[in-house]
Chain A
Amino acid sequence: MDGQLQEDWLDAKLRDELPYIDDDGFTSRVSQQLPVRRGSSKARAAILLSFTVIAAVLAYVVAGGGSFVMDVVGWFAVKPLAALYLITIACGLLVTGLAVFFALSRSRKLRS
């Protein structure tokens, strides 16, 4: 019991010896030395989106103005219904899997 009291006394004294240190410009000195930030993530997202749209338009023009869409529709039209179901499910699973993967990696990044 006496030992416990001594420990409490010692801890209390140690904590008393740790007064709050006024910032006194410390934070602003550190802030001034922080490395220059990269472009914001919004700017990066806008640039990425712009390039994606340009690439899509180019692909559309190069591929004959969308005739490939008609070809693909025609290809699907002659397939049996069961095959179409399978393709639909496979696409759904693929998209879901990718979304889960990116969501998990993003949350892991935020947690770490």
Chain B
Amino acid sequence: MSLTDADLVARVLLDDDHHAFSELVRRHQSAVRGLLRNLTRADVALADDLAQETFLKAYKNIRSFRGEAKFSTWLYRIAYNSYREDARRRKELVGIDETQLEAEQNPQTVNPALRQDLMYALRLLPLHERTAVLLCCQHGLTHEEAARVLDIPLGTVKTNVLRGREKLKHSLAAWQHN
């Protein structure tokens, strides 16, 4: 019988069990690294550095994990915050990104072949819509869980997912009918 995430967290809390925490890392590394790769627009090295930072922060702060949400949701929140901190450090946070993205979204500057690529279309979304779509549609979080990860109101998450989806559908309309 395999242990649940809650069992492993309890072992870490009681005995500082490194093996239990390693098992948690093994279970969630793919999802966390996948999310960060999408957030960093496929910068694999940066995404893995941030993923590593995420798990180390999770270990150091595991006592603050309340168990109200799933462990994965809590990890996504740390990962997202790590990404934002890093982006802020690199002066790439939303406001600056948006200008660049709007330029990229100009149909004349976008390679028509790439426009049909889902991941490319996803990268064109503003950060808040991209993250909401990734969490809810790709990682299967509920709107409530995504709101907790992003620390924004539920209604805002729903709006961001809706808008993000609309833009994706619009970008991929031709591809969809193939």
| Interface residues in chain A, defined as those with a beta carbon under 8 Å from any beta carbon in chain B | 6-7, 9-11, 13-15, 17-21, 23, 26-31, 33-35, 37-38, 40-41, 109-112
Q: Are B176 and A17 in contact (CB under 8 A)?
A: no
Q: Are A30 and B34 in contact (CB under 8 A)?
A: no
In the complex, what's the smallest C-beta–C-beta distance from A100 to chain B, in angstroms?
A: 20
What DSSP secondary structure best describes chain A's contact surface? helix
Identify the closest chain B residue to A21 (Cβ): B30
Q: Which of B9-17, B76-84, B86-94, B143-151 contacts A (4 or more CB under 8 A)?
A: B9-17
Q: Are A35 and B59 in contact (CB under 8 A)?
A: yes
A37 in contact with B18 given A26-B29, A26-B48, A30-B25 (CB within 8 Å): yes
A17 in contact with B25 given A30-B55, A111-B67 (CB within 8 Å): no
- B105 at the A/B interface (Cβ < 8 Å)? no
Taken residue by residue from 10 to 50, chain B's Cβ proximity to chain A (1 for < 8 Å, 0 otherwise) reads as: 10011110100110011001110110010000000000100
Q: Are B18 and A17 in contact (CB under 8 A)?
A: no
Q: How far is the CA of A30 from the CA of B18 in the complex (A)?
A: 10
What DSSP secondary structure best describes chain B's contact surface? helix
Chain B interface category by residue count: 35 or more
In the complex, what's the smallest C-beta–C-beta distance from B161 to chain A, in angstroms?
A: 10
Q: Are B176 and A9 in contact (CB under 8 A)?
A: yes
Q: Are B139 and A7 in contact (CB under 8 A)?
A: no
- B72 at the A/B interface (Cβ < 8 Å)? no
Q: Are B25 and A31 in contact (CB under 8 A)?
A: yes
- B169 at the A/B interface (Cβ < 8 Å)? yes
| Interface residues in chain B, defined as those with a beta carbon under 8 Å from any beta carbon in chain A | 10, 13-16, 18, 21-22, 25-26, 29-31, 33-34, 37, 48, 51-52, 55-56, 59-60, 63, 65-67, 118-119, 122, 133-134, 137-140, 165, 168-169, 172, 176
Q: Are B25 and A26 in contact (CB under 8 A)?
A: yes
Q: Which 3 A-B pairs have the closest CB atoms?
A: A37-B16, A14-B138, A21-B30
Contacts of B67 in A (CB 8 A): 111-112
Q: How far is the CA of A68 from the CA of B118 in the complex (A)?
A: 83
Q: Are A10 and B169 in contact (CB under 8 A)?
A: yes
Identify the closest chain B residue to A20 (Cβ): B30
11 contacts between A and B (CB under 8 A): A9-B176, A18-B138, A23-B26, A27-B25, A31-B25, A33-B56, A34-B21, A37-B16, A41-B15, A110-B13, A111-B67
In the complex, what's the smallest C-beta–C-beta distance from A8 to chain B, in angstroms?
A: 10
Other contacts beyond A23-B30, A30-B25, A30-B56: 13, CB < 8 A: A7-B165, A17-B118, A17-B119, A21-B29, A21-B37, A23-B29, A26-B52, A27-B29, A30-B22, A35-B60, A38-B16, A41-B14, A110-B10
